[in-house]
């Protein structure tokens, strides 16, 4: 018997059940899921999972895609079409498909995917009788910002916060009040003494390729640099503040949380570094 899965209103053969490559679940892990146990063809804890689903959707400001009754019909139908007596039914709801941009797209319908599979209850019973093994690992959820992973939900929420506040970028701040990096950029200041500063890469940040190139340019230009973190207050009192990324090169930020940086205009160092970066990029691009 072939498996059947539900994708956005249609039941398809499992092999052909696909979402678009720009689905935000795929691009950003921008979605939520639930798993119900299926007992003798019936859903366990239906209300408990529905309540958590609604909470998760609400937290991410993703619209509830259909009523609980309609969703129950889809879950039941997926179970029925797959002839699952005992097993699980999996639901994933993402923010939907839209051109890739961290901030939330407007007027996009959530994607809804449902799959069901059989699990032999005898296996679980046998293991439960014998008992199962456990191991430990450090909890790194999510302390590995050095990996350029698509698990970008936190970055998405930060970029959205920036957009909602009429800003270009959101700088992320650690528990010490120090800036780590931007939601999709590395962050820099020219401090009150005129010295360039950016957080060191021992810290939990992405090692920006643009950042690395800019370090070379800074050395070539003979500018002074301190690779250590700066606080939000230091950023507000800095002569210049800017961010870097492959998509934006060197981008001056002229305000932070409404506070004007320097004289409120792009400063000479950021302007010079942007020009130098663009010149090198143009020369070296292959």
Interacting residues with ligand PLP (CB under 6 A): 155, 181, 184-186, 206, 208-211, 244-246
Residues 199, 187 contacting (CB under 8 angstroms): yes
Least spacing, CB of residue 184 vs ligand PLP, in Å: 4
Residues 185, 251 contacting (CB under 8 angstroms): yes
Question: What gap in Å lies between CA 92 and CA 114, rounded to an integer?
Answer: 7
Least spacing, CB of residue 247 vs ligand PLP, in Å: 7
219 vs 246, beta carbon nearer ligand PLP? 246
The DSSP string of 58-107 is: HHTTPPP-S-HHHHHHHHHHHHHHTT-SSEEEEEEEES-B-SS-SSPPSS
The torsion region of residue 165 among left (phi > 0), alpha (psi -120 to 50) and beta comes to alpha
27 vs 155, beta carbon nearer ligand PLP? 155
162 vs 245, beta carbon nearer ligand PLP? 245
Question: What gap in Å lies between CA 286 and CA 281, rounded to an integer?
Answer: 9
Q: Which of 130, 148, 159, 195 is catalytic?
A: 148
- The SS3 of residue 252 is strand
User: Nearest 5 degrees, angle CA 44-CA 48-CA 54?
Assistant: 130
78 vs 244, beta carbon nearer ligand PLP? 244
Least spacing, CB of residue 239 vs ligand PLP, in Å: 22
Least spacing, CB of residue 155 vs ligand PLP, in Å: 6
Least spacing, CB of residue 187 vs ligand PLP, in Å: 9
98 vs 116, beta carbon nearer ligand PLP? 98
123 is catalytic: no
Residues 170, 103 contacting (CB under 8 angstroms): no
Name the residues annotated as catalytic. 148
């Amino acid at each position: 018997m072939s498996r059947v899965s539900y994708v956005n209103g249609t039941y398809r053969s499992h092999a052909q059940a696909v979402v678009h490559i720009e689905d935000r679940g795929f691009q950003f892990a921008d979605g939520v899921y639930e798993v119900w146990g299926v007992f003798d063809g019936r859903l366990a804890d239906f209300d408990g999972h529905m309540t958590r689903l609604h909470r998760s959707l609400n937290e991410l400001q993703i619209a509830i895609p259909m009523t609980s009754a309609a969703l129950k019909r889809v879950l039941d139908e997926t179970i029925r079409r797959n002839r699952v007596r005992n097993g699980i039914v999996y639901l994933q709801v993402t923010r939907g498909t839209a051109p890739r941009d961290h901030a939330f797209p407007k007027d996009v319908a959530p994607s809804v995917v449902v799959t069901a599979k059989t699990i032999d209850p005898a296996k679980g019973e046998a293991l439960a009788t014998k008992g199962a093994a456990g191991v430990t690992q450090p909890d790194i959820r999510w302390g590995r910002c050095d990996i350029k992973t698509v698990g970008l939900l936190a970055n998405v929420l930060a970029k959205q916060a920036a957009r909602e506040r009429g800003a270009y970028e959101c700088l992320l701040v650690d528990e010490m009040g120090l800036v780590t990096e931007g939601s999709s950029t590395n962050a820099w200041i020219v401090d009150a003494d005129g010295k360039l500063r950016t957080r060191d890469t021992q810290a939990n940040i992405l090692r920006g390729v643009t950042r690395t190139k800019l370090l070379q340019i800074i050395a070539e230009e003979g500018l002074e640099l301190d690779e250590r973190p700066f606080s939000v207050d230091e950023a507000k009192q800095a002569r210049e503040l800017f961010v870097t990324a492959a998509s934006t090169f060197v981008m001056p930020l002229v305000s932070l949380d409404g506070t004007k940086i320097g004289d409120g205009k792009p400063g000479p160092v950021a302007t010079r570094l942007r020009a130098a970066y663009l010149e090198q990029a143009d020369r070296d691009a292959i």
